Amino acid sequence: MTNTQNLVSPQAIKDEWFRPKQKEQGRAESVVRPSLSYWKDAWRRLRKNKLAMGGLVFLVLLMLFAIFGPIFSPYSVTATDYPSQNQAPSATHWFGTDEAGRDVFTRTWYGARISLFVGIMAALIDFFIGIIYGGVSGYKGGRTDTVMMRVVEVLYGLPHLLVVILLMVVMGASLTTIIVALTVTGWVGMARIVRGQVLQIKTYEFVTASKSFGAKTSRIIRKNLLPNTMGPIIVQMTLTVPSAIFAEAFLSFLGLGVAAPFASWGVMANDALPVILSGHWWRLFFPALFISLTMFAFNVLGDGLQDALDPKLRR
Amino acid sequence: MAKYILKRFIMMIATILIISTLTFVLMHSIPGSPFDEERTSNPTIQANLEKFYKLDEPMHVQYLYYLKSIVTFDFGPSIKKPNESVNELLARGFPISFELGMVTILVALLSGTILGTLAALRHNGIIDYLAMTFAVVGISVPNFVLATLLIQQVAVTWELLPAATWSSPLHMILPILALATGPTAIIARLTRSSMLEVLTQDYIKMANAKGLSPIRIVIRHALRNALMPVVTIMGTMLAGILTGTFVIEKIFAIPGMGKYFVESINNRDYPVIMGSTVFYSAFLVFMLFLVDIVYGFLDPRIKLHRKEGDA
């Protein structure tokens, strides 16, 4: 058992070995870079995604034009000017004029107002209903959850656009009706996502910790669950907007849109349908271009946000 | 499996019942009668008309008649075209819409899968880039916009293909192209991402190690699993294509069910609206049911998930 090889002879032991170590000058432990919050980190990732940033820039510009465009335009949206009807795009009428001589450029920005308003309102209302319904269902669990999800399952099985068409026929076409009809069927998707997230997150340790400190249910939902479900919720909202814009344009195209003289992009495209054979391409081209560009921008932004907000999913 | 099918079947019946009731309640909550436009006519005629369409009965009796009409599949006469029944309109229009929808789905499935697979196999290559550009653009351009642009460019400016109607295979190209682009884009994206995931799996490495040819690996081993997500979205995709046929038929003047449906909306022809809504919903819900069953057979794990979900 004698193992003397590793032992140091008593003479070799030096006093300095037992002096307290000097504190180092540099602080190796200190954090050099500012700490990144979840949102800052996501923003950093999003900024690298050129396509998504392009979409974001386009949408900001579009909103600015939708708000201020009609103010700076010398033309009225509704007033007719028959002498200058059906003009091709020119220096005076950038996007041309329609059969009543109205300036298509001005009307396009009014259309942007309507389309964006419908899309954003639909997304916001979906958000509130979905968060409450999905949050309660996921958090309560058990029988409550089963019953609430049965309701959602049945609603999810309904053909949405058919229900929307039916509601529009019954309630009459107006902006409010479109938003109501879209949200009556639209909140279900959001509720499912919130519920799935809550179901997963409520089993995490920090929620248990919060509970053991005596936090109330409302506090846990507000402070622990909701902030951590925000990522997928924001993505879902970004993707709800283009589908609502599409639905509005679609309904307008079926003749269930906002009534004249105001026009959403869908109404403008629908009005242009009979005249494309006579070569008035600008009537269709500009609303079609802006519907497509807006949907494209929201879609790429949604994809980008998905990548940015959910780093675990990235490959 | 039998229990699962039974459960899904009951859900299907419940959904159809709910949408039928919803349709009934909504249509009857509209103030006024469909004959308001002909107010000037003789009150006796008005009464007779109401009797003919059973509008003089109390509401619950009307509801029972309505349920009976759904079960017996007899939706009664149209109001605006009194010598035609809703059934006749359905029988005339639906086959055309069905043809349009089915060809669209086949085209979308085939081209979407091929595009998505090629993109995944050449990940970050030029094909991948092109395919995904097409996918984002395809999802963003609404089908009615695409349809009108196609008519304007291909049919009017270049005069390559006929612009309207449904009389020959040549006439079908533009409507199907307009309707299939969106679903193709969605399927391509989905196939690509699930294919990328599947290709990293061990059994693909194993198949490679065995020396199987790449084509065989992709078709027999990878694609089978990569297509599972596509099966799950088939239901919602069908719904999208079906509602898409409304506008496409309107734009291309195709005499399908969608055209009659849009007409009935604009004419407020309630029996036709009710009949076609219920018919469409039942058809869609049945398709969803089929998709779920097929999925259950394709993926044995689904039963396990179900149990976890029920707990």
Q: Rounded to an integer, what distance in angstroms lies between the CA atom of residue B213 and that of residue A76?
A: 67
- Contact yes or no for A269 and B141 at CB 8 A: no
Residue B233, pLDDT > 90, answer no
State residue A124's pLDDT score: 93
List the single best residue of B148, B157, B198, B285 to mutate versus A (max A Cβ within 10 A): B148
Share of chain A above pLDDT 90, in %: 7
User: How confident is the model at residue B41, as a pLDDT?
Assistant: 61
Q: Which two tokens stand for residue B122?
A: 């050449």
pLDDT tens-digit series, residues A168-215: 888 877 888 888 888 888 898 889 888 888 888 888 888 889 889 988
What is the C-alpha separation between B262 and A103, in angstroms, rounded?
30
Work out the pLDDT band at A59, boundaries 50, 70, 90: very high
Flag if A254 and B196 touch (Cβ within 8 Å): no
- Chain segment B114-146, per-residue pLDDT in tens: 999 999 988 888 988 898 888 888 888 888 888
pLDDT tens per residue across span A202-223: 888 888 898 899 888 888 888 8
Higher pLDDT, A101 or B287: B287
Residues of chain B in contact with residue A148, where contact means CB-CB under 8 angstroms, are: none
The mean pLDDT of A71-86, rounded to a whole number, is 68
The winner for highest mean pLDDT among B33-37, B177-181, B272-276, B299-303 is: B177-181
- In angstroms, the CA A198 to CA A193 distance is 9
pLDDT at residue B294, rounded to an integer: 82
Q: Is residue A216 part of a domain?
A: yes
- Residue A109 within a domain: yes
Confidence of residue A313 (pLDDT cuts 50, 70, 90): low
What's domain B91-255's superfamily in CATH? MetI-like (1.10.3720.10)
A31 falls within a domain: no
DSSP state of A87: P
CA nearest neighbour of A112 among A237, A262, A256, A236: A262
Identify the closest residue of chain B to A253 by CA–CA distance.
B247
Q: How far is CA A168 from CA A264, B27, B201, B251, in A?
A: 16, 11, 49, 21
For residue B45, which amino acid is it?
I
Cβ pair B273:A273 closer than 8 A: no
**Is the pLDDT confidence value at A50 over 90?**
no
The pLDDT tens digits for A254-278 are 877 776 566 788 888 877 777 766 6
Alpha-carbon distance of A39 to A28, in angstroms, equals 27
- The pLDDT score that the predictor gives to residue B108 is 94
Amino acid (one-letter) located at A305:
L
The whole-angstrom distance between B303's CA and the closest CA on chain A is 17
Q: What amino acid is encoded at A25 in this protein?
A: Q
Q: Is the pLDDT of residue A25 over 90?
A: no
pLDDT at residue A314 greater than cutoff 50: no
Q: Determine the structural domain holding residue A256 and report its residue range.
A: 48-309
The pLDDT, as a whole number, for residue A106 is 79
- Say if residue B166's pLDDT is above 60: yes
Contact check, Cβ <8 Å, A292/B27: no
Q: What CATH code is carried by the domain that includes residue A199?
A: 1.10.3720.10
- Please tell me which of A45-49, A103-107, B105-109 the model is most confident about, judged by mean pLDDT: B105-109
Helix, strand, coil percentages, rounded to 5, for chain A = 70, 0, 25
**Upstream peptide bond of A261 is cis (omega within 30 degrees of 0):** yes
Question: Between chains, do B265 and A154 touch, taking CB under 8 Å as contact?
Answer: no
* Choice between A72 and B231, residue whose per-residue pLDDT is larger: B231
Residues of A in contact with B239 (CB under 8 A): 159-161
State the pLDDT confidence band at A101, using cuts at 50, 70 and 90: low
Q: Would A107 be classed as within a structural domain?
A: yes
* Residue A314 counted as domain residue: no
Q: Does any domain span residue A17?
A: no
User: What is the per-residue pLDDT for B222?
Assistant: 87
Per the CB < 8 Å rule, is A250 touching B22? Answer: no
Per cent of chain A over pLDDT 70 is 83
CA–CA gap between residue B285 and residue B295 (Å, rounded):
15
Residue A27 lies in a domain: no
**Is residue A165 domain-resident?**
yes
Q: How many CA atoms lie within 13 A of B245 on its CB side?
A: 30
B174/chain A closest Cα distance in angstroms: 16
Q: Where in chain B is the domain with CATH 1.10.3720.10?
A: 91-255
- CB within 8 Å: A161 and B277: no
Q: What residues in A contact B14, CB-CB < 8 Å?
A: 154
Using CB atoms and an 8 Å cut-off, which of residues 254-313 of chain A contact chain B? 254-256, 269, 272-273, 276-277, 281, 284, 288, 291-293, 295-296, 299-300, 303
**Shortest CA distance to B190 belongs to which of B104, B144, B131?**
B131
The model's confidence at residue B306, banded by pLDDT at 50, 70 and 90, is very low
Give the pLDDT score at B241: 87
Chain B contact present for A20, CB below 8 A: no
**Where is mean pLDDT largest: A30-34, A277-281, B86-90?**
B86-90
* Interatomic CA distance for residues A223 and A207, integer angstroms: 10
- A295·B139 Cβ contact <8 A: yes
pLDDT at A166 over 50: yes
Specify the pLDDT at position A2.
53
**pLDDT tens readout for residues B60-102:** 788 888 888 888 777 777 777 777 788 888 888 888 888 899 9
Chain B residues with CB under 8 Å of A162 CB are 19, 243, 277, 280-281, 284
pLDDT over 70 (residue A163): yes
Q: Is the pLDDT of residue A150 over 60?
A: yes
The label of the residue with tokens 């540099």 reads A26
Kindly determine whether residue B148 and residue A288, on different chains, have CB atoms separated by under 8 Å: yes
Minimal CA–CA distance to A242: which of A177, A292, A289, A193?
A292
pLDDT band at B17 (very low <50, low <70, confident <90, very high): confident
- How many domains are contained in chain A? 1
Chain centroid to CA A94: how far?
Answer: 31
| Residue A65 touches partner B, C-beta closer than 8 Å | no
Residues 6 or more apart whose CB falls under 8 angstroms from that of B63 comprise B21, B24
Contact A154 B14 (CB under 8 A): yes
Rounded to the nearest 10 degrees, how much is the dihedral formed by the CA atoms of B156, B157, B160, B165? -10
pLDDT at B36 over 70: no
Is the per-residue pLDDT at A69 higher than 80? no
Nearest CA in chain A to B141: A292
Which residue, among B144, B265, B272, B281, would best test binding to A if mutated, counting the most A CBs under 10 Å from its CB? B144
Minimum distance, in Å, between the CA of residue B211 and any CA atom of chain A: 27
Residue B185 binned pLDDT confidence (cut-offs 50, 70, 90): very high
Higher per-residue confidence, B52 vs A216: A216
For residue A28, the model assigns a pLDDT of 64
> Cβ–Cβ of B281/A158 closer than 8 Å?
yes
Q: What one-character-per-residue DSSP string does B157-192 give?
A: IS--S--S-SSSHHHHHHHHHHHHHHHHHHHHHHHH
Q: Is the pLDDT of residue B311 over 70?
A: no
Q: Locate the chain A residue with the closest alpha carbon to B239.
A: A159
Query: Is A167 near chain B, with CB under 8 Å?
Result: yes
pLDDT of residue B16: 86
pTM beyond 0.90: the answer is no
What per-residue confidence (pLDDT) applies to B221? 85
- A90 and B CB contact within 8 Å: no
Report pLDDT for A218.
82
